[in-house]
Amino acid sequence: MVITTALTGLTALTLTAPSGYLAPIEWGRVPLTLDALPRVVYTAHRGGALEVPENSMAGLLTAYERGTAQVIDFDTRILRDGTLVVMHDKTLDRTTYATGPVHLLDRYQWHGVLVRPDASLPGRWRPERAPTVEEVLDRFGGRIMLMLEAKDPRSVGKLAGMIRARGLTRSVFVNTNTPSVARRAHELGLLAQLWRSKEQMRTDRPEQWTSYVDVLDVDYKARDSDLRRAVNSGVPRVWAHTVTTAKQRDRVLRLGCNGVITDTPGLLARTPVAPAGPAGRA
């Protein structure tokens, strides 16, 4: 077994994880829930897309084993037969050896899709079968907090059924860019996350979402005033995306965000937060 320590702001969380891919992952008798999250949260975006093959089982497992994030993020899409799969893009072209629209495949065809690791990634990675959402929930559900972005709004009802059936309603954030979809997720008993671009944040009134949004997922490139407005909105968790450098992280934390969604969780875990300078300036 490999013992890794996750950086958790003011405390350290020790995780026990297996040394072998696809070995059983043990946690506790009850699922890990958002109540166990630290004051400052690191989320591995697509597993940490500048460090591991994005949205791959090997990448997600590596993010889990390294222990440098408390939440693992992945994207979901729906196939023509209703199967929910792990994929960011509408097409297969960028991240797999296949081409064409994702939604035209069925479950059988999906099992033939191989993830193509980006040549720029550190380390050595092998092609592997692209996972389904069911496989990721069964692999990691309750062992670490998960964040999934529902790229197809019509899939939220089915996602809710899968999450409820596994007892993970307090262990999985369902992310969307659409407030009405976030409200729907909340009404289905899920943890709702709403992401916003820097352009949207200029006119957003985030205080309108406090009754149903659990995480407000804001663009780190937004203006200081817009980030502060989000932080002071009353939404309990305001996490900034998609952070890749320590400087970006330090700025959003200084402005009051209590989490970062990052493509480089390993880098950020190795780099201490810079102390604030005079008058709160870094």
Q: What are the tens digits of pLDDT across the range 198-255?
A: 999 999 999 999 999 999 999 999 999 999 999 999 999 999 999 999 999 999 999 9
Predicted confidence at residue 156, as pLDDT, reads 98
Residue 21's pLDDT band (cuts 50, 70, 90): very low
Predicted confidence at residue 27, as pLDDT, reads 45
Predicted confidence at residue 1, as pLDDT, reads 29
| Residue carrying the six token digits 């709403």 | 194
CB count within 10 Å of CB 39 equals 10
Segments making up each domain of the chain, as ranges: 34-76+130-270
Q: Which residues contact 70 (CB under 8 A, 6 or more apart)?
A: 6, 8, 13, 37, 38, 41, 42, 43, 144, 145
| Residue carrying the six token digits 């909105």 | 233
* Higher pLDDT among residues 95 and 277, named by residue: 95
34-76+130-270 under CATH 3.20.20.190, yes or no: yes
Phi and psi at residue 38, to the nearest 5°? -75, 180
What is the SS3 assignment for 240? Answer: strand
pLDDT at residue 279 is higher than 60: no
Predicted confidence at residue 30, as pLDDT, reads 73
Predicted confidence at residue 175, as pLDDT, reads 98
- CA dist 148 and 273 (Å) reads 27
Summarised one tens digit per residue, pLDDT across range 40-60 is: 999 999 999 999 999 999 999
Residue 276's pLDDT band (cuts 50, 70, 90): confident
The H helix count followed by the E strand count for the chain is 9, 13
Predicted confidence at residue 150, as pLDDT, reads 98
Summarised one tens digit per residue, pLDDT across range 124-135 is: 999 999 999 999
Mean pLDDT (the chain) is 90
The secondary structure of residue 88, as a DSSP letter, is: S
Check if the beta carbon of residue 208 is closer than 8 Å to that of residue 230.
no
| Residue carrying the six token digits 């506790």 | 28
Angle among Cα 224, 225, 227 to the nearest 5 degrees reads 65
> What does the pLDDT average to over 115-138?
97
Share of the chain above pLDDT 70, in %: 88
- CA dist 259 and 199 (Å) reads 20
Q: How much is the pTM?
A: 0.89
Which amino acid is residue 205, in one-letter code?
Answer: R
Summarised one tens digit per residue, pLDDT across range 61-89 is: 999 999 999 999 999 999 999 999 999 99
Summarised one tens digit per residue, pLDDT across range 145-197 is: 999 999 999 999 999 999 999 999 999 999 999 999 999 999 999 999 999 99
Predicted confidence at residue 210, as pLDDT, reads 98
Q: How far is CA 235 from the centre of its chain?
A: 18
